Amino acid sequence: MLINNGRALWLVGFGLAMGMPMAATAQVAAKKPAAAVSMKQASLEARVAYVRRLLRNTPLVDGHNDLPWAMREAAKDPLDVVAYDLRRKTAGMTDIARLRKGMVGGQFWSVYIPGEVRDSGYARIQLEQIDIAKRVIARYPDVFVPAYTAADVRAAYAQGKIGSLLGMEGGHAIENSLGALRAYYELGARYMTLTHNVTLDWADAANDVPRNNGLTAFGKEVVREMNRLGMIVDLAHTSPAVMSQALSVSEAPVIWSHAAARGVTDVPRNVPDSILARLPKNGGVLMMTFVPGFVSQSVANYGAQVTAVRDSIAKRFPNDNDAQFKAVAAWRETHPTPIATIADVADHLDHIKKIAGAAHVGIGGDFDGITETVQGLEDVSTYPTLFAELLKRGWTDTELKGLAGENVLRVLKGAETVSARLRTSRPASTKTIQQLDGRR
């Protein structure tokens, strides 16, 4: 029997290899998707091979990679991108060979700056990080292509290149100025995380003391102006109150560029189920991160325990750093660190799919922004292994394509559509934080 379908032909071959009769294999292939029929029982090697074929037909778009900051920290000259050669295996988690192996077709490069840096204001460092990212993209034109729209990412992918977008991490960089926000958009920033780990004058961070009950009036104006510009609102790092209010204010879909589900791992950085349940109406996407302490409750609990032990030891040995170090090391020897696994990450994705739907998940690994990794997800080459785990759990081709990149590209296109409408009806905002909040 001739089956005129690439996927079905592959299944026939796979079925014969597994000892199934030709007629039975062909009949099953004609009736059901291969992933639904055989991938649950297939070997890891077979599932990874299937994922690689799938990702040749849809771009994998990662929401958050901190390579520009890793390069800054590694270089003697913080603006030297030549010394960090991506054509060789780097000391970090990202290089060209591993990006290719990981089937990456689009990347939001984080142009992160710490919320605690104030040596000359945030703007200088933010501009330098944008400069680093742009020069890295320009240095490897056979690999990276600057991207500003969903169509740009698809065009780059069609050329076998990685569409490269910029994502700002932390609204502190705009220094309470909508004019600065507009300037960053013109420089290529296509999302902004409203906060990093520090609460701002206008927005509360998840890991800091809340002072604003979520978003202030100026904070809501920031969201509206981002909608008008076509810049995606990123709610990673924000408090649940900010998440809720931003969903109410935003006319465009939002993202979490790197986060996880609080219903699986209860830590402040993760997203509550009540927020996830609102994603279908908004159209947004939670891009699943690979931070061990966010994906494994055991790892999170261990981290809290280590902090408590350190505090106790510091009280026992005040002003004696050597004694403190030895005591903590001795404790660690009898209390090994738990290991986060790919199964933990998949549990989060299953949970998000259950609460919000498969159309509202994505990938945001946070590679080169983390010091510890999930077992099996150590660098950018490992994405197909995660997708293989999801195949075993029954995820369909359509769901996997959405997770890979189709969902976040829909969000980017949605932001562009909302912007096109708002730019004709809403002028650029001239509101200041002094006018709206009275903050000086």
List the catalytic residues: 64, 66, 169, 196, 237, 258, 366
DSSP 237-304: TB-HHHHHHHHHH-SS--EEEEE-BTTTS--TTSBPHHHHTTHHHHT-EEEE---HHHH-HHHHHHHH
Tell me if 206 sits within 8 A of 269, measured CB to CB.
Answer: yes
Show the tokens assigned to 6. Answer: 């690439």
Show the tokens assigned to 415. Answer: 């932001």
Cα 328 to Cα 134, 310, 320, 324, 372, distances in angstroms: 42, 7, 12, 6, 18
* Residues contacting 82, CB < 8 A, separation 6+: 139
Q: Could you identify the residue written with the tokens 């709610």?
A: 235
Q: Could you identify the residue written with the tokens 């990412």?
A: 153
Q: Rounded to an integer, what distance in angstroms lies between the CA atom of residue 8 and that of residue 31?
A: 9
Q: Rounded to an integer, what distance in angstroms lies between the CA atom of residue 266 and that of residue 259?
A: 12
Show the tokens assigned to 382. Answer: 């490992």
* Rounded (10°) CA dihedral 214, 216, 218, 224: 50
Please state the φ and ψ torsions of residue 235, each to the nearest 5 degrees: -105, 10
Return the axis-axis angle of helices 342-355 and 383-392, rounded to nearest 10°: 60
Measuring CA to CA, which residue among 407, 349, 387, 427 is closest to residue 53?
387
* Residues contacting 201, CB < 8 A, separation 6+: 176, 212, 216, 218, 433, 437, 439
40 - beta bridge partners? none
Measuring CA to CA, which residue among 383, 354, 371, 308 is closest to residue 62?
383
- For 2-56, the three-class secondary structure string (H helix, E strand, C coil) is CCCCHHHHHHHHHHHHCCCCHHHHHHHHHHCCHHHHCCCCCCHHHHHHHHHHHHC
